[in-house]
Every structure is written in structure tokens, then in C-alpha cells.
């Protein structure tokens, strides 16, 4: 994991925005940490947060799609750790494609905080716990809220 080029986490003023957080329960320790950090960050930014859980990463897309029409942004969180079969590749590709398509089709920012790692240790390092090198729950939340604010400004300028 390089993290090269990653900007420092800059909280945004998201008062008045609503954001949904949808988190998989597979790899629960990692996903719970991602969820906790995303919710804490949304609250620090002043956004109204709704929380949802799904079983695994493949279930994220349909719930995120449903929530996108009722929220200013949605954050999808999960953890897929490579095993000994190609299943990892199929899951990662499917989830990324689904979240991207939902964002474009609904014109709603979707924060992709689904970790795709080779090992459990890499997932721990990215989940934002004590001593972690990255905080993907918080980063995904800020990215989604920042994008929602940008879209709001663009749409207001058109009016």
C-alpha cells in the first residue's frame, strides 16, 4: 500500500446534508472500525447520518442504490481479503463497478470505502484504528461529503 498522493484529511462543513452509511458485516472487526470512523467523521462535519448494515460486499450495491435517491451522499464500506481463488477478483470488480454506476446514474456521490487487500494486516492498517497508517472510513466520508457540496454549488450556479 503506498498511499502516495493522498491528501491530508480535511473536514468539510456538511451541515444540512444527509448521508447514509452502508457497511458489510463480513470481516466484522475491520468493517466495524470503518463504520465507526465514517459515522464519527460525518458527525464532526455536521451531516445528518443514517446507518445501515448488509451481509457482504456484494450486497452493498442494491442498498446503496436505494439510498442514493433519498440522501445527498452515500458511503459504502466493506472489506474483501484475497483468498486462494479468483472469487476475490470477481467481488472487487463487481462492487467497484456497481458503486461507480450508481454514482453516475443517480448523480449522487458514493464514497467507496470497500477495502480490497491481500492480507488481514493490510486491512487493519487501512481501517483507521489506533496506529493505522490510513483511515478509509473517514476518508470515504469526507470524499462523499466534499463531492456533495461541490455538486450543490454547481447546481446552484445553474439556477
Residues that constitute the known binding site for (2S)-2-hydroxy-3-oxobutyl phosphate: 84-85, 126
CA–CA separation, 30 vs 26, rounded Å? 9
Interior/surface letters 49-73, b for 16+ CB within 10 angstroms, e for the rest:
bbebebebbbbbbebbbebbeebbb
Q: How far is CA 124 from the centre of its chain?
A: 16
Alpha-carbon span 78 to 32, nearest angstrom? 9
**Annotated binding residues, as ranges?**
26, 57-59, 79-81, 84-85, 112, 126
* Residue appearing with cell numbers 458485516: 25
Is 87 annotated in the active site? yes
Positions marked active-site: 87
Amino acid at each position: 500500500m503506498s498511499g502516495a498522493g493522498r491528501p491530508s484529511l480535511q473536514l468539510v462543513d456538511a451541515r444540512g446534508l444527509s448521508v447514509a452509511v452502508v457497511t458489510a458485516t463480513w470481516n466484522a472487526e475491520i468493517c466495524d472500525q470503518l463504520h465507526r470512523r465514517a459515522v464519527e467523521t460525518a458527525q464532526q462535519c455536521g451531516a445528518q447520518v443514517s446507518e445501515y448494515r448488509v451481509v457482504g460486499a456484494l450486497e452493498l450495491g442494491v442498498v446503496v442504490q436505494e439510498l442514493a435517491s433519498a440522501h445527498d451522499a452515500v458511503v459504502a464500506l466493506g472489506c474483501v481479503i484475497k483468498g486462494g481463488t479468483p472469487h476475490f477478483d470477481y467481488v472487487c470488480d463487481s462492487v467497484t463497478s456497481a458503486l461507480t454506476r450508481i454514482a453516475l446514474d443517480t448523480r449522487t456521490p458514493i464514497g467507496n470505502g470497500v477495502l480490497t487487500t491481500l492480507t488481514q494486516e493490510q486491512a487493519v492498517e487501512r481501517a483507521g484504528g489506533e496506529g493505522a497508517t490510513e483511515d478509509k472510513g473517514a476518508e470515504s466520508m469526507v470524499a462523499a461529503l466534499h463531492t456533495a457540496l461541490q455538486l450543490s454549488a454547481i447546481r446552484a450556479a445553474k439556477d
